[in-house]
């Protein structure tokens, strides 16, 4: 029998069946309302682990451990005296006697029973569905089994192209399998998006290498003699060879327990409940995905489940509440890296509603807004770019403050810049997971004295669900803080309360030449005389290096204290790779190289066993050098006339070029000569982030100059200068700064532009982000560097002249200095020994790192996940 | 010529199986950075010197990537305690305890260190 409750003898007993996300939310809601203090709470959980974040399940494959996914704060159960029984599911309910019996035989008498049994994956009745290698995608255990089975398999098939199906497909692809998606409907994510959105989604998914089959179902799964899956026949007569099948074709409410004890069940399943989430037995509640709610629906989303959990907690606490009458099913997700959102009446079912659609198949962007007869926003679908979701969802039901077509246009094409969260009414729901309004967020700042976003999140729970509203939340909090006259801490890190731009001015005007001096004089009180941190050390090191010739400091980044400030790449003048080896990139200005120099690079790579690859910046990267090999490799390169390419530094990387008018029949200027001149002028220039450039010899733009920080395109009259371009994760075309410049005019303008950027940008802020952020944007920058509105131009040019005059090759400086060379050993106490963990295995006629040497006692799964927050500290 | 006064070199040592093991001369270290060293059994340790001139030693292996690179990270201090940030994915490790400041489930071994005078002629 059960042991007696630690509460009073007469304490009522609440039994919760199921400990998933909704179950845990219910327990938290009970604790918040003080119910756990006066009632005994017993939880029966089928899974072997406490509630975890099922929504983020797939992130297990990107390195989050099951523990990372836990939803239960340490000590929560103990603190509230909750009895949690893991791996012991409820098996029978006796409503007459009011008892629940679990698999272990444990029987608990209840006063109130809450069913939060969730749902189970629907497996279509395909012959062969029970073969070895068939899985569902629901629990951590499912994932572990899939991961294990996929280890030496080549191909996988996911049945179901909905939300969970795409997640599963992404996971299989991440495990290195050729992945098929089979969807019975005519489009992917049929529930959430319309045909146009489905088409955009499909194109993007296919571009990632997944194979999509729509409008077909699985007919039969065939297995080999051992019973393992070998293929899947489809309804259109075709067949897929596959080693593994994941069924992800929707879920069904788990209502068996309720059926067995005679509770009312909906025709198509689900435990029928009223607005207070009570079943046909008033002592029994049902919440989450197992419940058929008063509006006749079964909700498969977590947010409505949370609302139900709170409704029941209110009922048990005898707090009045509105009950659960239905919920917003708006969702925003990132599936396979694609943003997908739908909200409100996404399918346009209301009478007289009309669509406004923006579709760019090339970019995989599709946006549709559904507008009602009176101009109010009813709903919408966003695929490929869902940034505006945070704004649009709260506007649903109201007439937007600007024309609807403006709401779907991409930034820069007439989208109103001013329509930010400030345009929203106080009652607009910002966080739909936790139903937090703009008004509550504002009052968290004004009434509850929260001064940071994390504090507001803790206070209101906003932004702690799916996280899609955090950007909007941050803007709101900062706006509100500013309106309250509270200054937002924009300091560089925990050591400095100043921004990078402010520190630059301090260093320049006070002629500070060391980090220690700056930290002790201008650091935060608590950080002075300390060791600083990994954020501000390289940032200050870069500022001092940029200004070195002007300050009279040494510009050599390995001199004295400067050596201790550099990230490892700068410290070893090479790029650290995943196994601790380094890569080496000699400068090849403009991408022009003689056959003799090519031969030298080839010989060095061959002699040292280096892996070679052509970079995107028209040069050659040599991978796999041990730290003790670097100086000798540099010596050979320097002897052949090469110098450092600064591939390791926040500095100018390359100036790419097309072949230009010398050879090309379309060229109108000598783009190669200009690229070489620019690369040699700005080489070694330390900046807030890396700098890339390119010169194109005509408007055909073969050098892709508009994707660069500063790009030059030849015209028949001279050069056009574009600035603020970027490739990478957030591509941006560079903006035209000035046109038809002559050579001197071009160089003068670039000098000013770069020095103004270096002076005013934040740490690790590329020119593209800087141009977007800086007040006045491009027009302001043009005013400063073209029209000299601040009277700075002479100074900016002088700073650049100092840089050009002070340039020295860092590799040559290093190999000529025995003291500096001492650093380039694998082991301080065994300078002759190479590091045995840096070794290689063959790959496509070259080498690759031997990672087996790095596996320790517990082989790490994480590879490329940087810890968030290290830069914002 | 005058006789040079007796030169006192400082040597960095770490505690290994109850015995002090000499790693390197103090002059081999730069404040704010580290070096890698081999122990007799082939284990790699990362040895650091902070701004105040105190030496520290922890495992050289970065448990998040498996690479033997912690000696190449940057030093810093948080709440008065010294740490090194891994040069690969930037997780920070307390130099006195080896505890990872960004993931409390991860710890690398830390070694006791001292500076010992080595008298040279």
Domain boundaries, chain B: 30-115
pLDDT at A554 (0 to 100): 67
Residue with tokens 């590799």: A811
Best mutation target among B41, B47, B88 (most A Cβ atoms within 10 Å) is B88
CB-CB neighbors (< 8 A) of B78 in chain A: 494, 533
Q: Could you say which of B24, B36, B90 has the minimum Cβ distance to residue A870? A: B90
pLDDT at A326 (0 to 100): 79
Lowest mean pLDDT across A549-563, A688-702, A859-873? A859-873
Confirm or reject contact between B27 and chain A (CB < 8 A). no
CB-CB neighbors (< 8 A) of B47 in chain A: 828
pLDDT tens by residue, A618-673: 999 999 999 999 999 999 999 999 999 999 999 999 999 999 999 999 999 999 99
pLDDT at A399 (0 to 100): 81
pLDDT at A402 (0 to 100): 75
pLDDT at A222 (0 to 100): 92
pLDDT at B1 (0 to 100): 42
The class level of CATH for A13-120+253-316 reads alpha beta
Judged against a pLDDT cut of 70, whether residue A718 lies above it is answered with yes
Confirm or reject contact between B21 and chain A (CB < 8 A). no
Please give the mean pLDDT across all residues of chain A.
Answer: 87
Confirm or reject contact between B36 and chain A (CB < 8 A). yes
CB-CB neighbors (< 8 A) of A869 in chain B: 102
pLDDT at A859 (0 to 100): 40
Instruction: Tell me, yes or no, if the two domains A13-120+253-316 and A123-249 fold the same way.
Output: yes
- The rounded percent of chain A whose pLDDT value lies above 90 is 50
Judged against a pLDDT cut of 80, whether residue A327 lies above it is answered with no
> What's the CATH number for A651-808?
3.30.413.10
Lowest mean pLDDT across A1-15, A484-498, A616-630? A1-15
Do the annotations mark residue A450 as ligand-binding? no
Confirm or reject contact between B99 and chain A (CB < 8 A). no
- Helix, strand, coil shares of chain A as percentages rounded to 5? 35, 20, 45
Q: How far is A828 from chain B (nearest CA, A)?
A: 5
Judged against a pLDDT cut of 80, whether residue A857 lies above it is answered with no
Confirm or reject contact between B32 and chain A (CB < 8 A). yes
* Cβ-contact A531, B76 below 8 angstroms: yes
Q: Rounded to whole angstroms, how far apart are CA atoms A223 and A243?
A: 9
pLDDT at A861 (0 to 100): 35
pLDDT at A359 (0 to 100): 82
Q: Could you say which of B22, B68, B92 has the minimum Cβ distance to residue A580? A: B68
Q: What is the average per-residue pLDDT within A814-833? A: 88
CATH ID of A567-644+809-873, from 1.10.150, 3.30.70, 3.90.480, 3.30.200: 3.90.480
Of residues A34 and A773, the one with the higher pLDDT is A34
Interface touch B74/A580, C-beta < 8 Å? no
Confirm or reject contact between B74 and chain A (CB < 8 A). yes
Q: How far is A851 from chain B (nearest CA, A)?
A: 8
pLDDT at A1 (0 to 100): 40
Q: Which of A195, A194, A233, A230 is nearest to A216 (CA)?
A: A233
pLDDT tens by residue, B51-110: 989 999 999 999 988 999 999 999 999 888 999 999 988 889 999 999 999 888 899 999
Question: DSSP H helical segments within A353-403, as ranges?
Answer: 389-395
Nearest CA in chain B to A560: B30
Interface touch B65/A863, C-beta < 8 Å? yes
pLDDT tens by residue, A242-275: 999 999 988 899 999 999 999 999 988 999 999 9
Do the annotations mark residue A277 as ligand-binding? no
State ipTM: 0.90
Beta strands in A436-537 (DSSP E): 436-437
Q: How far is A623 from chain B (nearest CA, A)?
A: 16
CB atoms within 10 A of CB A373: 11
- The rounded percent of chain A whose pLDDT value lies above 70 is 94
* Cβ-contact A284, A263 below 8 angstroms: yes
CB-CB neighbors (< 8 A) of A524 in chain B: none
Confirm or reject contact between B53 and chain A (CB < 8 A). no
pLDDT band at A328 (very low <50, low <70, confident <90, very high): confident
**Helix A743-760 and helix A500-510, axial crossing angle in degrees, nearest 10:** 100
Q: Rounded to whole angstroms, how far apart are CA atoms B72 and A811?
A: 19
CB-CB neighbors (< 8 A) of A534 in chain B: 73-74, 76, 85, 90, 92
CB atoms within 10 A of CB A416: 14
Please give the mean pLDDT across all residues of chain B.
Answer: 88
Q: What is the average per-residue pLDDT within A717-725? A: 94
> What's the CATH number for B30-115?
2.102.10.10
* Widest distance between CA atoms in chain A: 96
Of residues A303 and A802, the one with the higher pLDDT is A802
Q: Could you say which of A529, A567, A856 has the minimum Cβ distance to residue B74? A: A567
Judged against a pLDDT cut of 90, whether residue A366 lies above it is answered with no
Interface touch A567/B87, C-beta < 8 Å? yes
Interface touch B72/A826, C-beta < 8 Å? no
pLDDT at A407 (0 to 100): 78
Q: What is the average per-residue pLDDT within A493-502? A: 89
Judged against a pLDDT cut of 50, whether residue A54 lies above it is answered with yes
pLDDT band at A5 (very low <50, low <70, confident <90, very high): very low
Beta strands in chain B (DSSP E): 7-16, 19-25, 34-38, 44-49, 55-59, 74-78, 81-85, 92-94, 110-111, 113-120
Confirm or reject contact between B78 and chain A (CB < 8 A). yes
pLDDT band at B24 (very low <50, low <70, confident <90, very high): very high
pLDDT band at A872 (very low <50, low <70, confident <90, very high): very low
End-to-end CA distance of chain B: 16
Q: Rounded to whole angstroms, how far apart are CA atoms A636 and B41?
A: 35
Q: Rounded to whole angstroms, how far apart are CA atoms A479 and A8?
A: 50
Q: What is the average per-residue pLDDT within A510-521? A: 90
Assign domain A123-249 to its CATH architecture.
3-Layer(bba) Sandwich (3.50)
Do the annotations mark residue A536 as ligand-binding? no
CB-CB neighbors (< 8 A) of B104 in chain A: none
Interface touch A533/B63, C-beta < 8 Å? no
Q: Which distant-in-sequence residues (6+ apart) come within 8 Å of B56 by Cβ?
A: B47, B48, B49, B50, B82, B95, B96, B110, B113
Q: Could you say which of A531, A580, A822 has the minimum Cβ distance to residue B77? A: A531
Q: Which of A364, A372, A417 is nearest to A396 (CA)?
A: A372
pLDDT at A555 (0 to 100): 63
Best mutation target among B47, B56, B66, B94 (most A Cβ atoms within 10 Å) is B66
Best mutation target among B74, B94, B108 (most A Cβ atoms within 10 Å) is B74
Residue with tokens 């790490």: A860
Q: Could you say which of A580, A863, A864 has the minimum Cβ distance to residue B69? A: A580
Confirm or reject contact between B66 and chain A (CB < 8 A). yes
- How is residue A52 annotated by DSSP? B
Q: Rounded to whole angstroms, how far apart are CA atoms A208 and A87?
A: 39
pLDDT tens by residue, A567-582: 888 889 999 999 999 9
pLDDT at A600 (0 to 100): 97
Confirm or reject contact between B46 and chain A (CB < 8 A). no
CB-CB neighbors (< 8 A) of B118 in chain A: none
* Whether CATH 1.10.10.1100 fits A422-484: yes
Report pTM.
0.55
pLDDT tens by residue, A68-101: 888 898 889 999 999 999 999 999 999 999 999 9
* Cβ-contact A13, A109 below 8 angstroms: yes
Q: Rounded to whole angstroms, how far apart are CA atoms A369 and A377?
A: 7
Do the annotations mark residue A698 as ligand-binding? yes
CATH ID of A330-419, from 3.30.420.40, 3.30.70.1560, 3.30.390.30, 2.60.320.10: 3.30.390.30
Confirm or reject contact between B51 and chain A (CB < 8 A). yes
Domain boundaries, chain A: 13-120+253-316, 123-249, 330-419, 422-484, 567-644+809-873, 651-808
Nearest CA in chain A to B50: A531
CB-CB neighbors (< 8 A) of B66 in chain A: 851, 854-856, 859-860
């Amino acid at each position: 029998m059960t042991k007696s409750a630690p509460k009073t003898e007469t304490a009522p007993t609440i039994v919760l069946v199921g400990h998933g996300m909704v179950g845990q939310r219910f327990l938290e809601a009970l604790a918040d309302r003080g119910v756990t203090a006066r009632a005994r709470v017993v939880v029966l959980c089928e899974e072997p682990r406490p509630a975890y974040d099922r929504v983020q399940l797939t992130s297990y494959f990107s390195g989050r451990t099951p523990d990372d996914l836990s939803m239960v704060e340490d000590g929560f159960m103990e603190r509230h005296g909750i009895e949690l029984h893991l791996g012991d599911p409820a098996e029978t309910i006796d409503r007459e006697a009011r008892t629940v019996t679990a698999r272990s035989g444990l029987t608990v008498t209840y006063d109130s029973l809450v069913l939060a049994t969730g749902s189970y994956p629907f497996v279509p009745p395909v012959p062969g569905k029970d073969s070895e290698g068939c899985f569902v995608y629901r629990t951590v255990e499912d994932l572990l089994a899939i991961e294990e089975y996929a280890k030496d398999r080549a191909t996988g098939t996911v049945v179901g192209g909905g939300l969970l199906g795409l997640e599963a497909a992404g996971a299989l692809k991440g495990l290195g399998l050729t992945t098929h998606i089979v969807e019975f409907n005519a489009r992917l994510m049929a529930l959430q998006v319309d045909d146009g959105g489905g088409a955009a989604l499909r194109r993007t998914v296919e571009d990632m290498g997944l194979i999509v089959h729509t409008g077909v179902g699985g007919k039969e799964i065939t297995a080999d003699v051992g019973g393992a899956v070998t293929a899947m026949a489809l309804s259109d007569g075709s067949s897929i060879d596959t080693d593994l099948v994941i069924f992800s074709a929707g879920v069904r409410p788990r209502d068996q327990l309720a059926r067995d004890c005679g509770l009312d069940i909906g025709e198509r399943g689900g435990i029928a409940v009223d607005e207070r989430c009570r079943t046909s037995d008033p002592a029994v509640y049902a919440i989450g995905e197992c419940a058929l709610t008063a509006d006749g629906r079964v909700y498969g989303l977590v947010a409505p489940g949370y609302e139900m959990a709170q409704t029941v907690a209110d009922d048990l606490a005898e707090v009045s509440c509105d009950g659960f009458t239905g919920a917003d099913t708006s969702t925003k997700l990132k599936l396979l890296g694609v943003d997908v959102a739908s909200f409100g009446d996404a399918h346009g079912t209301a009478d007289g509603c009309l669509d406004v659609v923006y579709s760019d198949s090339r970019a995989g962007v599709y946006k549709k807004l559904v507008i009602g007869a009176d101009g109010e926003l009813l709903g919408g679908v966003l695929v490929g770019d869902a940034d505006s979701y945070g704004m649009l969802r709260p506007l649903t039901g109201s007439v937007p403050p600007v024309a609807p077509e403006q709401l779907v246009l991409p930034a820069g094409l007439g989208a109103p810049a001013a329509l930010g969260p400030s345009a929203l009414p106080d009652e607009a729901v910002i966080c739909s997971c936790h139903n937090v309004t703009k008004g509550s967020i504002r009052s968290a700042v004004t009434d509850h004295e929260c001064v940071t976003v994390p504090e507001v999140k803790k206070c209101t729970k906003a932004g702690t669900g799916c996280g899609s509203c955090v950007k909007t939340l941050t803007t709101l909090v900062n706006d509100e803080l500013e309106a309250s006259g509270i200054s937002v801490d924009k300091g560089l890190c925990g050591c400095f309360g100043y921004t990078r731009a402010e520190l630059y001015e301090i260093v320049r005007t006070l002629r500070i030449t060391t980090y220690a001096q700056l930290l002790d004089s201008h650091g935060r009180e608590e950080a002075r005389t300390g060791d600083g941190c990994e954020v501000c050390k390289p940032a200050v090191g870069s500022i001092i290096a940029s200004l070195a010739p002007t300050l009279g400091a040494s510009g050599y980044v390995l001199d004295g204290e400067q050596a201790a400030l550099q990230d490892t790449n700068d410290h070893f003048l090479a790029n650290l790779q995943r196994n601790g080896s380094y890569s080496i990139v000699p400068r090849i200005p403009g991408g022009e190289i003689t056959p003799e120099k090519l031969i030298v690079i080839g010989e060095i790579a061959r002699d040292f066993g280096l892996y070679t690859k052509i970079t995107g910046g028209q040069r050659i990267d040599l991978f796999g050098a041990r730290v003790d090999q670097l100086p000798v490799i540099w010596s050979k390169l320097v002897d052949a006339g090469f110098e450092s390419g600064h591939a390791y530094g926040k500095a100018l990387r390359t100036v790419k070029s097309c072949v230009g008018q010398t050879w090309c029949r379309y060229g109108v200027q000598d783009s190669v000569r200009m690229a070489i001149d620019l690369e040699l002028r700005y080489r070694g220039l330390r900046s807030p982030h890396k700098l890339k450039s390119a010169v194109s010899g005509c408007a055909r733009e073969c050098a892709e100059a508009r994707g660069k920080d500063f790009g030059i395109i030849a015209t028949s009259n001279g050069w056009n200068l574009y600035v603020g371009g970027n490739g990478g994760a957030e591509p941006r075309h560079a903006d035209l700064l000035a046109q038809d410049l002559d050579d001197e005019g071009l160089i003068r303008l670039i000098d000013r532009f770069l020095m103004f950027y270096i002076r005013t940008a934040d740490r690790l802020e590329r020119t593209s982000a800087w141009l977007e952020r800086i007040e006045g944007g491009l027009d302001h920058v043009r005013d400063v560097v073209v029209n000299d509105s601040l009277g700075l131009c002479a100074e900016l040019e002088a700073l650049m002249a100092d840089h050009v005059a002070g340039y020295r090759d860092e590799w040559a400086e290093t190999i000529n200095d025995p003291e500096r060379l001492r650093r380039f050993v694998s082991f301080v106490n065994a300078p002759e020994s190479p590091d045995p963990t840096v070794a290689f295995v063959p790959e496509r006629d070259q080498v690759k790192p031997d990672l087996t040497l790095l596996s320790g006692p517990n082989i790490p799964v994480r590879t490329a996940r940087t810890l968030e927050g290290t830069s914002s500290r | 010529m005058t006789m040079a006064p007796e030169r006192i070199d400082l040597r960095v040592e770490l505690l290994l199986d109850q015995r002090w093991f000499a790693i390197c001369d103090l002059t081999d270290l730069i404040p704010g950075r580290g070096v890698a060293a081999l122990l007799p059994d082939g284990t790699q340790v990362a040895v650091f010197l902070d701004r105040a001139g105190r030496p520290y030693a922890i495992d050289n292996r970065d448990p998040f990537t498996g690479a033997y690179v912690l000696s190449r990270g940057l030093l810093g201090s948080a709440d008065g305690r010294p740490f090194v940030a891994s040069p690969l994915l930037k997780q920070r490790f307390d130099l006195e305890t080896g505890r990872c400041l960004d993931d409390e489930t991860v710890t690398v071994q830390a070694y006791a260190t001292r500076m010992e005078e080595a008298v040279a002629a």
